[in-house]
Structure 1
Amino acid sequence: MSVVLDEQVFKFGGCTLDLRKGTLRHANGPAYLRPKAYALLTHLAQHMGRVVPKSEIMDAVWPDVFVTEDSLTQSIREIRKLLGNDLVRTVSKRGYMLAAEVEAAPEIGSQPIVAVLRFRNESGDPTDDPIVDGFAEDIINGLARFGTVTVLARNSSFFFASYARSEWQLIRSRIGADYLVEGSVRRHEDRITAAVNLVDAANASQLWGDRYQAAGSGFSAIQQDIVEEIVGRLARRVTNAGLQQATRKPITSLAAYELVLRGVALVRDPAQTDIEGAKAFFEAAVAKDPAYGLAHIYLGLSCALKGEFEQASHAVLVQARDLVANGLALSPDQATGHRIQSLVRLYMREHEAAEHHLRTALDLNPYDADCIEQMGLLLTMRGRPFEALGWLARAIRIDPMIPHWYQFDRSLALYMMGDYRPAAEALELATRPTPWIRTRLAACYAQLGEMDQARRQAALINEGDPDFSPIDYATKAMPFESPGDAAHLADGIRLALGARSASGAGQSTTTI
């Protein structure tokens, strides 16, 4: 059985050949072929189901080198030893064929398919064509690293230039993309202007567009800044569009990928009032596709979120850790999995392990705004708030929609720096004033000497949770690596609680 996932990834005989990564894997782990056997298998996979003449194979695998057919025979023998004799057939007097009955694509194939078209060169200088093509190719590579969209390979998408709106549906019919990224680049000395549009190919409507201008001493640095912004924005736009499609379908017909999308939408809801519902979606995704690593990863996250991380017991965190580890065993190159594992390990007070997983996530996908933002939180917990603010600012630049937790984590770094005013302003943006948000707001105002505001926030801390302890929150729940940082937050909380008691609010049920 075989399936072509895209022009870069092939599955056959229990193996996965990923040309983008240059890897060959079977169910039990990496598989190995000598370089020429690997090149031969690659050529056969790219022409699966077709008889490939020996002369064509020799030209593709041994170009400009004279070798006898013994070399070809030895490579075929090596491939058959790995795959079995039935998959690589000898067609007498003609050549070889990688032959397998095509199976249905796995449910992950329901991901949106994106094609990045060849960008227009508007500089008027043909020598800039390679630079413009490289710019679009960087977007292809960046999007591909997210794992939540299927990105067509350069050879398919670059068959077209960026065309007018009237051509978009034609392009969809030719290459099967759900979404198109099209645009132009103009370069003048060290300044470039890039226009980028995201298009829904089904109805030829533009979902998003923007223009970028940048200058600097080196073009590569400018290019990386622009690609980072584009990739971060496109990934969220495409994921949201996929969610809109999924919400129009009955739950019984949803693929595992779409079930995960529905669950993630509940997790990302600022109110987070239905974490149990999110958990149910992830459980359904695991049941539908037990090999779908991302479903296990998000199931682990939902378990920790249900316990609100800071209040989660050690047993809950261990359960979350193990679920995420299971997902990573299925999808080891999933940046999201390492990011979530980092968060779990952080709240288990395993700071070194948390940083290891997060840096692994950033190696896998340096453009992921959530990974970048979480590095800000981690560094704050490790006593490096100044460095953390740089990461947080970068995350907010990449993702201008600014999910709510970006601001909460930014406020904590600011508090630890002693910048209590902007810390309070960031927390005031909360649409769900939980006990811990009111606790931190009270601490900010107390540190500013604004005791009326501090008392007002402190008086409301236990409205939603009579058993919530502000001091325990600072000293036990928050995973600070340094006791001094925990004491800094606790000092502000004690000031606020003291002000509240002095105003006659001492009969509150707050546990101290």
Structure 2
Amino acid sequence: MLPLANLSGDAGQDYFADGITEDITLALSRWRSFQTIARNSAFLYKGRVVDMKQVGRDLGVRYVLEGSVRKVGNRLRITVQLIDTTTAAHVWAERYDRELTDIFEVQDDICRRIAAVIEPELARHVQRQAMDKTVDHLAAWDLLHRGLFHLYKFTKADIAAARSYFERAIALDPHFCRAYTSLAYTHQLDVLHGYADDIEHSIGEHLRHARKGVELDDGDSYAHLMLAFAYVRTGDHDLTLAEARKAADVNPHDAWAHAMVGRALDAAGESAAGLPYIERSIALTPRDPHVKFYLAVGAQMLINKRDYREAERWARRSIEADPSQARPHLLLAIALRYQERWPEARAALAACEAATPGFPDRWHAWREYRDEADRVHMSEGFASLRRAPKANAARKRL
């Protein structure tokens, strides 16, 4: 992170630009998926016109985050760009405009947003780079990112391909934490999307690889996140929440970790407390490929809260983000069923079946809930969709 340039026309504002630079550097250092150069090394370039390729060579870094601060009256504008030092090409750029009502609150908010968005943007770029390399010459890190490239397509074939790359990465480096946790995630996705032939086996493999990841690096938020995912599948609610909170504590800028805290609270019977975590995750990383999942989780929470119209809205937003997903179509069907909009509900169920044949029969999210009333409510919402319309009408008259 190079020092942000002060474009305010007032040298007295240098302290403000330097303060934001330090805060962003500290926030970025929470990520284990990349290393961040210390503040003192980066500040050697303060006030200098630099060649990005030379900076990369001097500091031994592949990517540089640079930008500027302009403060005029009560208005603040911060512009940042992520640059690949091997090509000097822009990978990502964003502008943040704010009213300075509370300078510390504004500064913290912008730093959180930048830190949250950099990791997924950087990951996408690295994955594209890995795909350009010859398969016979891939190191463990490249194998990981080639696998992630496939993983985030979320199809059955791509998840299987990703698993193969992660296993090859582990064969090259048996102490590669992120390869184990990514391997765990493939099993989580197989269960989530209804791809698993043996659900209990997939859950067991997920748990085994996630535990190995935490064993290798207890300070990796992603490892704790994957372990939380495993525990929600096994019904260990206290362990789910503990691991999710550990992930968020290790890296407060990890949107996914906050979403998992929300999901853990929902499963434990605290949907109202969990929903703000999902909303925060979406606000932090609106371009993250996982946003469609956050929206689906939010829809499920809202069904559990008995707020069916809002659940419908969230499910539709998830479908809009990716119509090929089966789960949000099913959640939409349940939300519509509880509004007694039966024709629409059955159409949504048909869309779910079309997206992933057999998914409705393999869906068992209600088992994750601690409270019997929540399990019955979710399972009845689904089961009633399978009953004949006349049976539902008769049930209503009773």
Aligned residues: 383
The question of whether the paired residues in 2 share the 8 Å contact of 1:346 and 1:378 is answered with yes
Shift of 1:462: 4.9
Cα distance in structure 1, aligned partners of 2:9 and 2:225: 43
Which residue number corresponds to residue 122 of structure 1? 7
Which of residues 204, 208, 213 in structure 2 aligns to 1:318? 204
Per-residue deviation, residues 307-361 of structure 1 (Å, max 9, x unmatched): 4488764444233222221222211211100000001011110011111111111
Per-residue deviation, residues 65-85 of structure 1 (Å, max 9, x unmatched): xxxxxxxxxxxxxxxxxxxxx
Pairing 1:11-160 to 2, within 5 Å after superposition: 116-160=1-45
Q: Return the letter of the residue paired with 1:250.
A: T
Which residue number corresponds to residue 278 of structure 1? 162
Shift of 1:241: 1.3
Cα distance in structure 2, aligned partners of 1:475 and 1:175: 51
Which residue number corresponds to residue 10 of structure 1? none
Per-residue deviation, residues 104-158 of structure 1 (Å, max 9, x unmatched): xxxxxxxxxxxx1111123344443233212112222222221122222222211
Q: Return the letter of the residue paired with 2:124.
A: N
Q: Return the letter of the residue paired with 2:115.
A: V
Instruction: Call closer, same or farther: CA 1:333–1:383 in 2, change over 3 Å.
Output: same
Task: Tell me how large the CA RMSD over aligned residues is.
Answer: 2.7
Which of residues 191, 194, 197 in structure 1 aligns to 2:78? 194
Answer with 1 or 2: which has the greater Rg. 1
Cα distance in structure 1, aligned partners of 2:191 and 2:383: 25
Shift of 1:204: 2.2
The question of whether the paired residues in 2 share the 8 Å contact of 1:190 and 1:219 is answered with no
1:334 aligns with 2:217: no
Which residue number corresponds to residue 167 of structure 1? 51
Cα distance in structure 2, aligned partners of 1:258 and 1:500: 53
Cα distance in structure 1, aligned partners of 2:47 and 2:121: 20
Q: Return the letter of the residue paired with 2:38.
A: A
Instruction: Call closer, same or farther: CA 1:468–1:170 in 2, change over 3 Å.
Output: closer
Which of residues 170, 181, 189 in structure 1 aligns to 2:65? 181
Per-residue deviation, residues 226-247 of structure 1 (Å, max 9, x unmatched): 0111111222121211111111
Q: Return the letter of the residue paired with 1:411.
A: A
Which of residues 423, 443, 455 in structure 1 aligns to 2:334? 443
Cα distance in structure 2, aligned partners of 1:296 and 1:175: 29
Shift of 1:362: 0.9
Q: Return the letter of the residue paired with 2:46.
A: A
Cα distance in structure 2, aligned partners of 1:363 and 1:247: 33
SS in 1 for 2:219: coil
SS in 1 for 2:213: helix
Which of residues 285, 297, 300 in structure 2 aligns to 1:412? 300
The question of whether the paired residues in 2 share the 8 Å contact of 1:282 and 1:298 is answered with yes
Cα distance in structure 1, aligned partners of 2:280 and 2:237: 22
Q: Return the letter of the residue paired with 2:346.
A: R
Which of residues 263, 270, 273 in structure 2 aligns to 1:387? 273
Which of residues 338, 351, 361 in structure 2 aligns to 1:469? 361
The question of whether the paired residues in 2 share the 8 Å contact of 1:424 and 1:445 is answered with no
Which residue number corresponds to residue 396 of structure 1? 282
Cα distance in structure 1, aligned partners of 2:208 and 2:379: 32
Q: Which is richer in strand?
A: 1
Per-residue deviation, residues 396-436 of structure 1 (Å, max 9, x unmatched): 111111422122112112222313331442343242242x4
Cα distance in structure 1, aligned partners of 2:359 and 2:125: 41
Q: Return the letter of the residue paired with 1:488.
A: H
What is the percentage of aligned positions where both structures have the same residue? 23
Instruction: Call closer, same or farther: CA 1:344–1:220 in 2, change over 3 Å.
Output: same
Cα distance in structure 2, aligned partners of 1:293 and 1:369: 20
SS in 2 for 1:213: strand
Instruction: Call closer, same or farther: CA 1:467–1:180 in 2, change over 3 Å.
Output: closer
**Structure 2 unaligned blocks of 5 or more:** 393-398
Greater relative CO, 1 or 2 (CA 8 Å, sep 6+): 2
Per-residue deviation, residues 32-74 of structure 1 (Å, max 9, x unmatched): xxxxxxxxxxxxxxxxxxxxxxxxxxxxxxxxxxxxxxxxxxx
**Structure 1 unaligned blocks of 5 or more:** 1-115, 504-512
SS in 1 for 2:51: helix
Per-residue deviation, residues 273-301 of structure 1 (Å, max 9, x unmatched): 32221111111111101111211222222
TM-score, scaled to structure 2:
0.87
Cα distance in structure 2, aligned partners of 1:199 and 1:444: 44
Cα distance in structure 2, aligned partners of 1:160 and 1:194: 19
TM-score, scaled to structure 1:
0.69
SS in 2 for 1:230: helix
